[in-house]
């Protein structure tokens, strides 16, 4: 049965809560399909959301946003540029990543920052995807990109399914999502770097407590995961693009097999971990994800929606801004505590406005 969603836009009323919006706009999901089968109304108090504020515009296929020590940096997929967004909304190039071979979904993708304010970059080169580390020189407003140190290369790459998200977990380890690069069976091959969530030390080594000794593989059986986030209790979540049937929100546990290409979505098959929520790809295509105060925020491309999920009850969700800003690529929590969103309308699949692409700031208040 297809899961049908009721998409409701968050009105520009400061202090209107997610729970109130659900009541006023109606539920999401089929009443006969509760829990993880689809989006159903969240319960209880939630953060209050107002309308986004445009921070910067005119970006070119932006992919990731991070906040190193008082600065705001954005990656551009096709230009291979890393931009610093200034307080007045203007941007300046801090550096161009050398050797990026942008094609299709490949190019300059995810960014992450460690406690030493070093920048980690996932990008596509001629011989595959790679993870590099850069120092940042200077102060906010005048940052410059240092020399590249390659931590991992040879990750299978293609025009599609490159994964690309980087994030540091609460354990201080670096996590990376990789796609199957169009070679479906590699997702089930634990020796392949494709179709995985990888876990490594900040220097790119396999931690001793990884589930498979000497391997970077943390979980496998993924098609094209692009979102990573952790709740306050350390639960790890990942979003994943399905093929034609289901996109997924998964809870990630060490060594688990998430089924691709044998199963897609909730299958109830022994040996495979089922998602906690699934969506029709036309209503989703979930990319970046962030966690704030018990709520997961998920940026969706085809669905053109910011989807919120309570981390304590992840089979439920509610949608905001459906179609208002087009395709959404990334979402992150800024140092101000607000939620920051990158649109993705200039990536070759959207319908860009004169302002696109944009970096938006979404004011959020705790309940």
CA distance 70 to 334: 10
Q: Which residue has the tokens 């900040």?
A: 202
pTM (predicted TM-score): 0.89
Determine, yes or no, domain membership for 4.
Answer: no
Distance in angstroms (rounded) separating the CA atoms of residues 222 and 218: 11
**What is the domain-level CATH number for residue 350?**
2.120.10.30
Of the candidates 176, 149, 172, the one whose C-alpha atom is nearest the C-alpha of residue 64 is: 176
pLDDT in tens, 191-236: 999 999 999 999 999 999 999 999 999 999 999 999 999 999 999 9
pLDDT at residue 49, rounded to an integer: 77
Please give the residue range of the domain that contains residue 235: 18-57+159-365
142 in a structural domain: no
CA dihedral 95, 98, 103, 104 (to 10 degrees): -50
Condensed to tens digits (0 to 9), the pLDDT of residues 288-301 reads 999 999 999 999 99
Q: What CA–CA distance (Å, rounded) separates 249 from 239? A: 5
User: How many Å apart are CA 293 and CA 314, to the nearest integer?
Assistant: 14
Q: Mean pLDDT across the chain, nearest whole number?
A: 89
pLDDT at 33 over 50: no
Question: Secondary structure of the chain: what % helix, strand, coil (to 5)?
Answer: 5, 40, 55
Q: Looking at residue 349, what DSSP letter applies?
A: S
- Would you say residue 12 lies in a domain? no
Which two three-digit tokens encode residue 57?
């515009």
pLDDT of 241-267, one tens digit each? 999 999 999 999 999 999 999 999 999
Quick check: is 163 in a domain?
A: yes
Number of structural domains found in the chain:
1
pLDDT range class, residue 50, cuts 50, 70, 90: confident
Asked whether 43 and 367 are in contact (CB, 8 A), the reply is no
Angle at 279 between CA 17 and CA 170, to 5 degrees: 65
For residue 275, what are its two tokens? 């998602």
């Amino acid at each position: 049965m297809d899961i049908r969603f009721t998409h409701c836009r968050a009105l520009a009323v400061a202090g209107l809560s997610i729970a109130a919006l659900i009541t006023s706009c109606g539920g999401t999901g089929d009443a006969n399909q509760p829990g993880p089968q689809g989006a159903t109304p969240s319960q209880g108090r939630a953060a209050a959301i107002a309308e986004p504020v445009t921070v910067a515009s005119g970006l070119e296929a932006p992919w990731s946003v991070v906040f190193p020590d008082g600065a705001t940096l954005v990656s551009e997929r096709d230009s291979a540029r890393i931009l610093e967004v200034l307080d007045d909304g203007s941007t300046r190039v801090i550096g161009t990543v050398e050797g990026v071979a942008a094609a299709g979904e490949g190019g300059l993708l995810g960014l992450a920052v460690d406690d030493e304010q070093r920048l980690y970059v996932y990008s596509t080169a001629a011989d595959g995807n790679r993870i590099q580390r850069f120092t940042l020189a200077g102060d906010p407003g005048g940052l410059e990109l240092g020399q590249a140190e390659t931590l991992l290369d040879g990750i299978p790459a293609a025009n599609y399914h490159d994964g690309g998200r980087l994030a540091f977990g609460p354990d201080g380890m670096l996590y990376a999502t990789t796609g199957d690069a169009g070679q479906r069976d590699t997702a089930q091959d634990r020796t392949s770097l494709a179709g995985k969530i990888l876990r490594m030390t900040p220097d790119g080594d396999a931690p001793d407590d990884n589930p498979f000794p000497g391997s970077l593989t943390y979980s496998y059986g993924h098609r094209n995961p692009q979102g990573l986030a952790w709740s306050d209790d350390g639960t790890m979540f990942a979003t994943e693009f399905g093929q034609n049937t289901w996109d997924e929100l998964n809870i990630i546990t060490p060594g688990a097999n998430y089924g691709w290409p044998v199963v897609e979505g909730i299958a109830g098959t022994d040996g495979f971990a089922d998602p906690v929520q699934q969506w029709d790809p036309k209503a989703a295509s979930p990319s970046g994800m962030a966690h704030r105060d018990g709520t997961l925020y998920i940026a969706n491309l085809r669905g053109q929606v910011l989807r919120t999920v309570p981390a304590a009850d992840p089979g439920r969700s509610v949608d905001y801004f459906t179609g208002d800003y087009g395709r959404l690529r990334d979402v992150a929590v800024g140092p101000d505590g607000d939620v920051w969103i990158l649109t993705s309308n200039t990536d070759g699949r959207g319908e860009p406005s004169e302002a696109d692409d944009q970096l938006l700031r979404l004011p959020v208040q705790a309940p």
